[in-house]
Amino acid sequence: MNPTSGGWLILLTVLVALTLAVLHLPETWPQWLGWWRPAWVAMVIFYWVLALPHRLGLVTAWLIGFLLDILQADPLGMNGMLLAAITYFGWRFYERLRMYSVFQQCGVIFLLVLATDTLRLLVLDIIWDQGMSWGVLLPALTSMLVWPFMFLLLDRLRAQVRVE
Amino acid sequence: MPANRALSQTPFDALSTRDLIRGSLSIKALFVRESGAGYLLTGLALVSLILITLDTSTRLLESVRSAIGTVVSPLVVVAETPYLLGDSLGEVVASRENLHAINAQLERRVLELSQISQQFLAMKQENQRLRELLGSRARLPTEVLIAELIGVVPNPNTHQVIIDKGSDAGVTVGQAVIDAQGLFGQIVEVSQFTSRVLLITDASHALPVQVNRNGVRSVAGGTGHRDTLELENVPVTADIREGDLIETSGLAGRFPVGYPVGYVASVEISETSAYATVAVRPTASLDRTRHVLVLFPQTTSSDVLDDTQTLQELPSDPPLPDDPVEEGA
């Protein structure tokens, strides 16, 4: 089997995640719903690192972060740092994490998203004086709830396309 | 180079830095993975922190941002497709009577506006003559560019939108953006085909304004709520009443003078404070508009400055900080 097969699927899922990250709700809907957006890009990257640790490296994740910086109007470098940290975590512990049940993985996702979002808010607070809030819990919560479905979907896609 | 040191300590010299970067490793080199990647992560984090600092405190990375923005703009358009489709679908399925009604309404509106614009032309001439008599600079005509909203920045903390005109259309950072009813915001980032607009209601935005009725000057700061601005540091004795029209004063030179910003919604005077709390409701429909106008100010080389200009654009006024996000707070 060609060791670089199916790279397009990884690219496609990352692009879809980036699009989901900018997709906005209708303006007439309450504004606070925006707080519930799951960390799509972080989860997709985490999945690929767990499934195929040799395909997605730190630098790739870091570079994807730059795209997210522009889309979310964050300072350049912010999301790269956080995505690289998530990649490192997944890559360091992938043997162990694969053995976990889906629910245990949900817990890991919750903690990861919570940690990175807290760091993000902290940096933004230092730069722009934005202030911290409990809203930081919400993306972690929704990411945790979305993870099992996303895991199953991506696993099935990966088996179909035979990404190695 | 810490990463190199980590490598040379291991017996597996065959492992190249390139492998580490790509993350491709064999089982044999398991323990190298730990040290090398850790150093790489630390390095990337440090570079990120430097980039964050550069990006937020200087304008050095503006061109980088705009280049990446050009690359990701298709994603913004894709994300907006449901709304664009919904709009065009609504146009297709609109009933005949409905279209007739809208048409009749628009015709009436055109008539009204053309009558006003006739008066406007005469008044403009008169105004110019009076200004010449006073020896002050004539107000310059402004050119506009119609742009369509193609995205909203997905961060509930900020009020920013993305429009479909970029550096290709001549848009530059700092230009004012209005909609049909009033001041909308200003351009803060430009890529080749799109630009990002900071709305006047964003919590980090502030702009110099004056009361249309008597010229009392103030600063209107965003509150983070879509329907409220707040006038900052208004003394309780200031002559500002509910219902007053607030317009741009043109001080600081970023926004042209005389565009409506909002109506005073409430004036609260507390006995414990020397300042009144003045809430302003923006006239622009910040959360509904799909079409906005980007203003292109005209500049002349011979500016005659004198006392009568204090309420006008002052090009030599102290400039705002480079990054408009940081002005006011």
Residue B203: pLDDT band (50, 70, 90) is confident
Looking at the complex, report in whole angstroms how far the Cα of residue A125 sits from the nearest Cα belonging to chain B. 11
Given this model, what pLDDT does residue B304 score?
A: 38
> What does the domain layout of chain B look like in residue ranges?
2-57, 142-298+308-329
CA–CA gap between residue B297 and residue B293 (Å, rounded): 12
Res. A39: pLDDT tops 50:
yes
Terminal alpha carbon distance of chain B: 42
Nearest to B155 among A66, A73, A88 (CB): A73
Looking at the complex, report in whole angstroms how far the Cα of residue B287 sits from the nearest Cα belonging to chain A. 6
Terminal alpha carbon distance of chain A: 8
Could you tell me which residues are beta bridge partners of residue B235?
A: B275
Q: Cα separations (Å) of B310 from A49, B23, B58, B297?
A: 61, 63, 31, 18
Tell me what the mean pLDDT of segment B306-315 comes to. 40
Query: Do B201 and B228 form a contact (C-beta atoms < 8 A)?
Result: yes
Record the tokens describing residue B245, joined without a space.
């029209």
Strand pairing class (B160-163; B183-190): unpaired
Query: Do A38 and A65 form a contact (C-beta atoms < 8 A)?
Result: no
Residue A41: pLDDT band (50, 70, 90) is very high
Res. B109: pLDDT tops 90:
yes
Tell me what the mean pLDDT of segment B187-215 comes to. 92
| Chain A stretch 6-65, residues whose beta carbon is closer than 8 A to a beta carbon of chain B | 15, 18-24, 26-28, 31-32, 34-35, 37, 53-60, 62, 65
Res. A3: pLDDT tops 80:
no
Query: Do B235 and B196 form a contact (C-beta atoms < 8 A)?
Result: no
B chain contacts of residue A59, beta-carbon cutoff 8 Å: 21-22, 40, 44
Q: Give ipTM to 2 decimals.
A: 0.87
Record the tokens describing residue B87, joined without a space.
């709009």
Res. A68: pLDDT tops 80:
yes
Reported as a single tens digit per residue, the pLDDT across B143-156 is 889 998 888 888 87
Looking at the complex, report in whole angstroms how far the Cα of residue B218 sits from the nearest Cα belonging to chain A. 23
Q: Is B22 on the interface with A (CB under 8 A)?
A: yes
Tell me what the mean pLDDT of segment B302-311 comes to. 39
CB spacing of B55 vs A76 below 8 angstroms: yes
Given this model, what pLDDT does residue B2 score?
A: 46
Tell me what the mean pLDDT of segment A33-53 comes to. 90
Res. B325: pLDDT tops 50:
no
Provide, rounded to the nearest whole percent, the portion of chain B with pLDDT above 70.
78
Q: What is the dihedral of CA A70, A71, A73, A75, to 10 degrees?
A: -40
Residue given tokens 């017996």 in the structure block? B11
Residue B18: pLDDT band (50, 70, 90) is low
| Chain B stretch 203-232, residues whose beta carbon is closer than 8 A to a beta carbon of chain A | 204, 226
Looking at the complex, report in whole angstroms how far the Cα of residue B22 sits from the nearest Cα belonging to chain A. 5
Q: What is the DSSP string of B5-20?
A: HHHHTSS-TT--HHHH
Could you tell me which residues are beta bridge partners of residue B208?
A: B219
Reported as a single tens digit per residue, the pLDDT across B21-51 is 555 555 445 544 455 888 899 999 999 999 9
Given this model, what pLDDT does residue B256 score?
A: 87
Higher model confidence: residue B167 or residue B6?
B167
CA angle B47/B50/B54 to nearest 5° reads: 135
Given this model, what pLDDT does residue B243 score?
A: 92
Tell me what the mean pLDDT of segment B282-303 comes to. 76
Tell me what the mean pLDDT of segment A40-61 comes to. 91
Mean pLDDT of chain B: 80
Residue A104: pLDDT band (50, 70, 90) is very high
Reported as a single tens digit per residue, the pLDDT across B240-251 is 999 999 999 988
Res. A92: pLDDT tops 80:
yes
Q: How many CB pairs under 8 A join A and B?
A: 136
Q: Which CATH architecture has domain B142-298+308-329?
A: Beta Barrel (2.40)
Res. B301: pLDDT tops 50:
no
CB spacing of A72 vs B154 below 8 angstroms: yes
B chain contacts of residue A135, beta-carbon cutoff 8 Å: 156
Could you tell me which residues are beta bridge partners of residue B266?
A: B279
Provide, rounded to the nearest whole percent, the portion of chain B with pLDDT above 90.
36
Res. A13: pLDDT tops 90:
yes
CB spacing of B151 vs A92 below 8 angstroms: no
Reported as a single tens digit per residue, the pLDDT across B52-106 is 999 988 888 888 999 999 999 899 889 888 888 887 887 788 778 888 999 999 9
Res. B4: pLDDT tops 90:
no
Given this model, what pLDDT does residue B24 score?
A: 52
Looking at the complex, report in whole angstroms how far the Cα of residue B304 sits from the nearest Cα belonging to chain A. 38
Query: Do A71 and B154 form a contact (C-beta atoms < 8 A)?
Result: yes
Reported as a single tens digit per residue, the pLDDT across A135-155 is 888 999 999 999 999 999 999
Res. B289: pLDDT tops 70:
yes
CB spacing of B157 vs A76 below 8 angstroms: no
Given this model, what pLDDT does residue B11 score?
A: 42
Nearest to A81 among B45, B55, B72 (CB): B45
A chain contacts of residue B23, beta-carbon cutoff 8 Å: 53-58, 60, 91
Residue B286: pLDDT band (50, 70, 90) is confident
Chain A residue with Cα closest to B32: A92
B33 CB contacts (<8 Å, ≥6 apart)?
A91, A92, B20, B25
CB spacing of B51 vs A70 below 8 angstroms: no
CA–CA gap between residue B217 and residue B252 (Å, rounded): 13
CB spacing of A34 vs B75 below 8 angstroms: no
Given this model, what pLDDT does residue B324 score?
A: 45
Looking at the complex, report in whole angstroms how far the Cα of residue A88 sits from the nearest Cα belonging to chain B. 7
Mean pLDDT of chain A: 88
Query: Do A83 and A46 form a contact (C-beta atoms < 8 A)?
Result: no
Res. B5: pLDDT tops 90:
no
Higher model confidence: residue B280 or residue B256?
B280
Query: Do B147 and B291 form a contact (C-beta atoms < 8 A)?
Result: yes
CA–CA gap between residue A32 and residue A87 (Å, rounded): 29
| Chain B stretch 105-124, residues whose beta carbon is closer than 8 A to a beta carbon of chain A | none
B30, containing H or E segment: helix B30-57
The answer to pTM > 0.80 is: no
Given this model, what pLDDT does residue B311 score?
A: 40
Please tell me which of A34-48, B288-302, B305-319 the model is most confident about, judged by mean pLDDT. A34-48
Q: Is A93 on the interface with B (CB under 8 A)?
A: no
